[in-house]
Chains A and B, each alone.
Chain A
Amino acid sequence: DIQMTQSPSSLSASVGDRVTITCRASQTISRYLHWYQQKPGKAPKLLIYAASALQSGVPSRFSGSGSGTEFTLTISSLQPEDFATYYCHQSYSTLTFGGGTKVEIK
């Protein structure tokens, strides 16, 4: 199975900060990489698919980049509603998720 490693596992940031989360795959996955946001007690929500495509309705402050084995999710200016846990997910082969990155208020 392809292992997905997210870093950091948690971070503290302030409203207005630029935040970057990294996801590394144990082997190449082309651009079969997707990002989700999950708030406590809620289902995950798709933010970015195919590495860089913004899901409909998702604010443009979210962006994704990368290909092969290294990917990033960037929030250009953190908003209060963005404090959540973020997961990457690969669909190149048997589906696997990263361990998550919890974004907390500094």
Chain B
Amino acid sequence: QVQLVESGGGLVKPGGSLRLSCAASGFPFSDYYMSWIRQAPGKGLEWVSYISSTSSYTDYPDSVKGRFTISRDNAKNSLYLQMSSLRVEDTAVYYCARGGNGWLDFWGQGTLVTVSS
């Protein structure tokens, strides 16, 4: 069955960096777009980034553009999100999800990122 397992979250100071990982299994990872979506405490869902199956195309909303970088390693069935210049408002649960050029059909359980001094 499809499994997505995020890791790498934690407490970081404003201006700091963090790298999230998502380990995928149960499907041909290299065939799918992948995405990161976040949810601030008590708030709604916000798309953070997506990457095409071959890494040829990525996109970000203005809120993270220039600070976050999505990448993938198809040989390792893994998705990554490098986050830098973190702000208090980046505090959220970060989910990886399968898809990005359409619907998001499977989601991981999420990893919490807390940005606080």
**A residues within 8 Å of B by Cβ?**
1, 32, 34, 36, 38, 42-46, 49-50, 55, 87, 89, 91, 94-100
Contact = CB atoms under 8 A, between A and B. Distances in A.
Contact of B46 (A32, A34, A38, A97): A97
Contacts of A100: 44-45
Chain B interface main SS type: loop
Nearest to B100: A95
A89 B104 contact: yes
Nearest to B106: A46
A28 B106 CA distance: 26
Interface of B: 35, 44-47, 50, 59, 61, 95, 100-110
A50 B44 contact: no
A45 B107 contact: yes
B103 A95 contact: no
Contact of B105 (A32, A55, A97, A98): A55
Contact of B47 (A34, A46, A95, A99): A95
Nearest to A33: B103
7 contacts: A36-B45, A38-B45, A44-B95, A46-B104, A49-B105, A97-B46, A100-B44
Contact of A95 (B50, B106, B107): B50
Given A95-B35, A97-B44, A99-B44, A43 B110 contact: yes
